[in-house]
């Protein structure tokens, strides 16, 4: 049985646009036979979707999903009036201004972000209306929004490096007795203010360790906070792990830290009224231990007897 399909093709392969720019592309209809329609429309929507999972920070499960989404963009434009689509492939171009400068009370265009409890998403949906006897043809595509250059910092961003040191005395969780008595010392520096376009960088040196090291990892964490009534619910989750050393590390040798930031899972740090999105970076030292082999799939965010860590805030910004 032959079918009729419709798809959206945006003019930019990376699908990245700024609020002041025009969304351009083509509506491609592949029809096995000609048919009449009652208009072709494109709807642009953007929203901040918030959720609080049952059990987060002691919130009871009845609160799940009660946070209303924050609308950013809701616009429907008629691209073509009623008419006829011929058989074969038909392409209909479109051009839509994302932000209408004539509108005053606009919600801020937050950058695209996909988190655990917070998702900022922008969608373009095409609908070809075919009347009551036929189902409408539709297709949806996500496009990515980044801040306007006018809203960004003028000066170039230089990474702010923070010096850290990790020893048995800086740990706030219980560690192995042999680690406590024998001791260890890891020093280094890492950026805590970083451009979202650049990798997170730094360096690390193992000066001493009584127990051989198994691995050294850099955890990138997101901290999502949602305002629920008079309460702020905060949850920290792991974005990605980058291993910078495998096996016991030579003492007093400088190891580079180089972490590429994932685009859709990060965004510039946001502090808004109903929500906030922050980031942290954790340097995690895993020591060789029989206990670690018994718990190979343990939660990387949870400190263990055979691990040492240092967690620092990370401010992500977008330059011009």
Q: How confident is the model at residue 319 (pLDDT cuts 50, 70, 90)?
A: confident
**Position 65 pLDDT exceeds 80:** no
CB within 8 A of 177, min separation 6: which ones?
Answer: none
Same fold, 5-149 and 160-317: yes
Average pLDDT (26-30) is 95
Task: Please compute, for residue 257, the number of CA atoms within 13 A of its CA located in the half-sphere on the CB side.
Answer: 24
Contact 137, 277 (CB under 8 A): no
CATH number listed for the domain at residues 160-317:
2.60.40.640
Q: Which residue has tokens 């009845």? A: 62
Q: How confident is the model at residue 57 (pLDDT cuts 50, 70, 90)?
A: very low
Question: What stretches of the chain show up as alpha helix (H) in DSSP?
Answer: 177-182, 290-294
The CA-atom distances, in angstroms, between 157 and each of 161, 175, 195, 198, 318 are 12, 38, 6, 10, 8
- Put residue 247 in one of left, alpha, beta given phi > 0 → left and psi -120 to 50 → alpha: left
Q: For the chain, what are the domain ranges? A: 5-149, 160-317
**Torsion sign, CA atoms 54, 297, 292, 208:** negative
Each residue of 73-130: pLDDT tens digit? 999 999 999 999 999 999 999 999 998 766 654 568 999 999 999 999 999 999 999 8
* Centroid of chain to Cα 81: 38
pLDDT value at residue 44: 95
* Backbone dihedral angles phi then psi of residue 43, each to the nearest 5 degrees: -110, 130
Contact 220, 311 (CB under 8 A): no
Each residue of 128-147: pLDDT tens digit? 998 777 888 999 999 999 98
pLDDT value at residue 55: 53
Burial track 242-270 (b if 16+ CB lie within 10 A, e otherwise): bebbeeebeeeeebebebebebeebbbbb
**Higher per-residue confidence, 261 vs 155:** 261
Contact 5, 82 (CB under 8 A): no
What pTM was estimated for this model as a whole? 0.87
For the 5-149 domain, the top CATH level (class) is mainly beta
**Higher per-residue confidence, 311 vs 52:** 311
């Amino acid at each position: 049985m032959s079918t009729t399909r419709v798809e959206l093709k945006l003019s930019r392969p990376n699908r990245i646009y700024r609020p002041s720019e025009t969304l351009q592309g083509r509506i491609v209809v592949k029809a096995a036979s000609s048919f009449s329609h009652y208009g072709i429309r494109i709807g642009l929507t953007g929203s901040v979707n918030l959720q609080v999972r049952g059990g987060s920070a002691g919130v009871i499960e009845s609160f799940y999903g009660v946070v209303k989404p924050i609308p950013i963009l809701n616009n429907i434009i008629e691209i073509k009036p009623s008419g006829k689509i011929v058989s074969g492939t038909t392409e209909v171009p479109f051009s839509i201004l994302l932000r209408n400068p004539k509108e005053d009370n606009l919600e801020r265009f937050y950058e695209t972000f996909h988190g655990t409890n917070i998702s900022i998403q922008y969608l373009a949906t095409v609908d070809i209306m075919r009347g009551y006897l036929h189902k409408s043809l539709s297709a949806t595509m996500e496009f990515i929004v980044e801040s306007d250059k006018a809203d960004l910092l003028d000066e170039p961003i230089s990474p702010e490096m923070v010096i850290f040191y990790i020893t048995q005395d800086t740990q706030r969780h219980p560690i192995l007795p042999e680690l406590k008595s024998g001791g260890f010392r890891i020093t280094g520096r890492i950026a805590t203010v970083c451009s979202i376009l650049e990798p997170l960088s730094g360096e690390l040196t193992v000066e001493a360790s009584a127990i051989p090291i198994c691995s050294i990892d850099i955890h990138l964490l997101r901290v999502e906070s949602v305002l629920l009534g008079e309460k702020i619910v905060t949850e920290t989750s792991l974005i990605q792990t980058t291993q910078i050393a495998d096996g016991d590390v030579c003492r007093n040798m400088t190891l580079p830290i180089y972490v590429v930031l994932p685009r859709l899972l990060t965004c510039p740090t946001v502090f808004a009224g109903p929500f906030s999105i922050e980031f942290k970076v954790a340097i995690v030292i895993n020591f060789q231990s029989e206990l670690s082999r018994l718990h190979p799939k343990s939660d990387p965010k949870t400190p263990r007897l055979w691990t040492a860590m240092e967690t620092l805030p990370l401010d992500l910004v977008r330059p011009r």
